[in-house]
């Protein structure tokens, strides 16, 4: 239960208790007044009838007939008892009381508790029974009490509404604080709180803003450091690829030339020597191919010479050749609108390279898809497969994704982007990353097409991109 709900419940309980106490006080005063008024009426009527009987000016029968003909007082009821039989002296219908039943029940008056008997001293030993009639008196008490009760209920309602408004106003900084903490949890360190409310809440908001600013500065610094480390790493790879190309390429070419020269030498040589020369040539050629593949993995020459699209096509064609059992679909149309030599090129290339490597090692897929899109001022890369999938978890060293996903996530975050993984065991997986375009890059259409069109490419629906439930890893 939230703090606002608990405080509202507490104030509601206090208001109800106050109203109950006011109602109890009103009922107590009404009960006291009704009992006193009816007791006085019964005693006065008994005294008057006793006096008339004692004076002897009328016979008992004449007195009964006169009382029966007179309109009775509102607060009493007269009955004649003779030979244990009771007969009311008036048959006139009594008006219904205006008080509600619950009020009458709470007042709780018992007419038998307020009754008197007067003997008429006639031969039939007639007794007049004077009973209290509380209906009219309770109605009068209700007329006086309902205004006070309405005032109490109105005060309680106004107090409840005012309390709710004050609580919402006083605790609104806490709601903003909770939303800000949620934004921090999702990695959004640009969130700031408005400095308002009580002095304690103002200090909390100020502390939150300082923390958010420090985290934003640390995030910016970490991204810059990650970007610099990646640039250093790429420079080292480029330098190593150049050295391998210049040194090992020449050495393997020289080995092949020397081996061919020995094999084709017209000087009589042992057969074993010519066979050895042929083996040396084959080994040098194999080593040359391995070196070229290693150089391409270290730094693709096509990326600098021909651009991102050509480098991606070359890599995907090479991957398809090494994995003929997996049908790979590619769509790199967005690269035509990217500026040449963009700083994003090598990072896009590395993410695709690592994603395809993960598919070949873990997915056991029959189909895969690589797609590059430019929705607005952003670049969106999606790699999907219809393989075994895995339980989704944020990429990190301790997650099920391993260090490959961690490296991709760090690379995307260094460019200010987000990495999202959609996967379920037995239903394939989808890796989607989105990062802003470098300054000066043209924007693409705002609509993002589906990852795979099954009716055109005959790709299993298991690799169709769909929104991921919950918070995406970033």
pLDDT score of 398: 41
Give the pLDDT confidence of 81-98 residue by residue, as tens digits: 766 565 665 544 454 447
Q: Which residue has the tokens 């810059």?
A: 224
pLDDT score of 446: 36
Spatial strand order of the sheet with 418-423 comes to 327-331, 367-373, 378-385, 429-436, 418-423
pLDDT over 70 (residue 271): yes
pLDDT score of 368: 92
Measuring CA to CA, how many Å separate 265 from each of 258, 273, 300? 10, 11, 38
pLDDT band at residue 383 using 50, 70 and 90 as cut-offs: very high
For helices 3-55 and 134-185, give the axis angle rounded to 10 degrees. 180
pLDDT over 80 (residue 74): no
Separation of alpha carbons 393 and 421, rounded Å: 8
Instruction: Report the mean per-residue pLDDT for the chain.
Output: 76
Q: Is the dihedral of CA 338, 343, 347, 349 positive or negative?
A: positive
pLDDT score of 445: 39
User: Which range is least confidently modeled, 210-219, 277-286, 336-345?
Assistant: 336-345
pLDDT over 80 (residue 385): yes
**Who contacts 211 (Cβ-Cβ below 8 Å, separation ≥6)?**
184
In the chain, the percentage of residues whose pLDDT exceeds 70 is 77
* Secondary structure class of 411 (helix, strand, coil): helix
**Who contacts 36 (Cβ-Cβ below 8 Å, separation ≥6)?**
none
* Secondary structure class of 92 (helix, strand, coil): coil
More confident residue, 184 or 400: 184
At residue 341, φ and ψ (nearest 5 deg) are 70, 30
In the chain, the percentage of residues whose pLDDT exceeds 90 is 4
pLDDT over 80 (residue 29): yes
CB contact at 8 A, 375 and 447: yes
pLDDT score of 449: 33
Separation of alpha carbons 63 and 53, rounded Å: 8
HSE-up of residue 187 (Cα within 13 Å, Cβ side): 13
Q: Which residue has the tokens 């993984």?
A: 421
Structure tokens at 69: 């003909």
Measuring CA to CA, how many Å separate 307 from each of 22, 236, 313, 337, 348? 85, 20, 10, 12, 12
Separation of alpha carbons 298 and 74, rounded Å: 111
What is the model's pTM? 0.50
pLDDT over 80 (residue 20): yes
CB contact at 8 A, 46 and 116: yes
pLDDT band at residue 61 using 50, 70 and 90 as cut-offs: low
Q: What is the mean pLDDT of residues 442-462?
A: 35
pLDDT band at residue 269 using 50, 70 and 90 as cut-offs: confident
pLDDT over 60 (residue 13): yes
For the residues of 131-196, what is the DSSP string, one character each?
EE-HHHHHHHHHHHHHHHHHHHHHHHHHHHHHHHHHHHHHHHHHHHHHHHHHHHHTT-TT------
**Who contacts 107 (Cβ-Cβ below 8 Å, separation ≥6)?**
27, 30, 31, 34, 99, 134, 138, 141
pLDDT band at residue 439 using 50, 70 and 90 as cut-offs: low
pLDDT band at residue 327 using 50, 70 and 90 as cut-offs: very high
For the residues of 285-309, what is the DSSP string, one character each?
HHHHHHHHHHHHHH--HHHHHT-HH
Q: Which residue has the tokens 């006193």?
A: 36
pLDDT score of 71: 43
User: Which range is least confidently modeled, 15-24, 337-346, 399-408?
Assistant: 399-408
Q: In residues, how long is the chain?
A: 474
Separation of alpha carbons 88 and 43, rounded Å: 19
CB contact at 8 A, 226 and 419: no
pLDDT over 80 (residue 384): yes
pLDDT score of 66: 66
Separation of alpha carbons 42 and 26, rounded Å: 24
DSSP state of 248: I
pLDDT over 80 (residue 467): no
CB contact at 8 A, 170 and 197: yes
CB contact at 8 A, 416 and 223: yes
pLDDT band at residue 151 using 50, 70 and 90 as cut-offs: confident
pLDDT over 80 (residue 60): no
Q: What is the mean pLDDT of residues 130-144?
A: 79
pLDDT band at residue 459 using 50, 70 and 90 as cut-offs: very low
pLDDT band at residue 304 using 50, 70 and 90 as cut-offs: confident
Q: What is the mean pLDDT of residues 57-67?
A: 67
User: Which range is least confidently modeled, 68-82, 194-208, 231-245?
Assistant: 68-82
Structure tokens at 174: 């806490």
**Who contacts 361 (Cβ-Cβ below 8 Å, separation ≥6)?**
none
Instruction: For the chain, list the domains and their CATH numbers.
Output: 3-166 (no CATH), 317-474 (3.30.565.10)
3-state helix, strand, coil in the chain (%, to 5): 60, 10, 30
């Amino acid at each position: 239960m939230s703090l606002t709900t608990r405080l509202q419940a507490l104030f509601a309980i206090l208001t109800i208790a106050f109203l109950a106490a006011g109602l109890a006080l009103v009922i107590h005063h009404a009960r006291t007044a009704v009992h006193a008024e009816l007791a006085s009426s019964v005693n006065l009527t008994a005294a008057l009838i006793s006096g008339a009987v004692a004076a002897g000016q009328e016979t008992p029968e004449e007195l009964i007939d006169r009382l029966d003909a007179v309109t009775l007082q509102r607060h009493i009821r007269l009955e004649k008892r003779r030979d244990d039989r009771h007969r009311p002296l008036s048959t006139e219908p009594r008006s219904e009381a205006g008080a509600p039943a619950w009020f009458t029940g709470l007042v709780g008056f018992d007419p038998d508790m307020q009754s008197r008997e007067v003997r008429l001293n006639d031969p039939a030993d007639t007794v007049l029974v004077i009973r209290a009639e509380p209906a009219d008196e309770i109605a009068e008490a209700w007329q006086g009490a309902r205004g006070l009760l309405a005032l109490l209920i109105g005060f309680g309602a106004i107090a409840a509404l005012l309390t709710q408004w004050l609580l919402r106003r006083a605790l609104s900084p806490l709601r903003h604080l909770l939303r800000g903490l949620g934004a921090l949890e999702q990695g959004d360190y640009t969130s700031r709180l408005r400095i308002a409310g009580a002095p304690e809440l103002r200090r909390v908001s100020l502390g939150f803003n300082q923390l958010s600013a420090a985290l934003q500065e640390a995030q910016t610094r970490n991204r810059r450091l990650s970007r610099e480390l990646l640039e250093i790493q790429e420079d080292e790879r480029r330098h190593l690829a150049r050295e391998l190309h210049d040194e090992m390429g020449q050495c393997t070419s020289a080995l092949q030339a020397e081996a061919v020269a020995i094999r084709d030498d017209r000087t009589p040589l042992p057969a074993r020597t010519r066979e050895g020369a042929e083996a040396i040539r084959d080994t040098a050629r194999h080593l040359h191919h391995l070196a070229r593949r290693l150089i391409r993995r270290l730094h693709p020459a096509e990326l600098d010479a021909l651009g991102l699209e050509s480098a991606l096509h070359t890599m995907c064609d090479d991957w398809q050749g090494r994995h003929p059992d997996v049908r790979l679909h590619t769509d790199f149309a967005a690269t035509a609108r990217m500026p040449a030599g963009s700083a994003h090129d090598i990072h896009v290339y590395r993410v695709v390279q690592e994603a395809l490597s993960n598919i070949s090692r873990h997915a056991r897929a029959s189909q895969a898809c690589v797609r590059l899109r430019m929705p607005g001022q952003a670049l969106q890369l999606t790699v999907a497969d219809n393989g075994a999938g895995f339980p989704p978890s944020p990429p990190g060293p301790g997650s099920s994704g391993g260090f490959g996903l961690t490296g991709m996530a760090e690379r995307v975050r260094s460019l200010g982007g987000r990495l999202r993984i959609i996967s379920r065991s037995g239903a394939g997986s989808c890796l989607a990353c989105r990062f802003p375009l470098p300054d000066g890059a043209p924007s693409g259409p705002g609509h993002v097409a589906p990852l795979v069109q099954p009716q055109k490419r005959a790709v299993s629906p298991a690799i169709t991109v769909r929104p991921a439930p919950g918070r995406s890893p970033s």
